[in-house]
Structure 1
């Protein structure tokens, strides 16, 4: 299965790109995407910074347009994951 992960604002700057496709197994969660798959494609410090920002409420995650409060949400083929800052503004 494939899911699309898009990054906006701070998250995009941290990751260094706006989106990427991630191949996941059936039944896996957002947490798996961050820890297993993004960890393979991005530096560990970047993944850790995004996870910490999510836990502090500075970054939100939406799946198919719905904001999720937990990284335990299960994923389906073709899901669109959006990682974005809680507030957007100028630099």
Structure 2
């Protein structure tokens, strides 16, 4: 929220792993996998103004495995470095 102090952002994420299942496979291994890993979604409001006691985000970073940028269909991801970005002092 450093770029726009005072703003509030709705962060929404989802994962639709069932799209990858072989629904015709009714073997025990497949059924266990399907029961353990399902679709999910979540959302939260993030603001730079503390409204009450809660979780504070102090830093973030992400990491993409080397040579894996082309593994995500439908996206164009530039090559990533092999180490996380330096943390600010």
Bigger radius of gyration: 2
* Larger RCO: 1 or 2 (CA < 8 Å, sep 6+): 1
TM-score w.r.t. length of structure 1: 0.18
Q: TM-score, normalised by structure 2?
A: 0.19
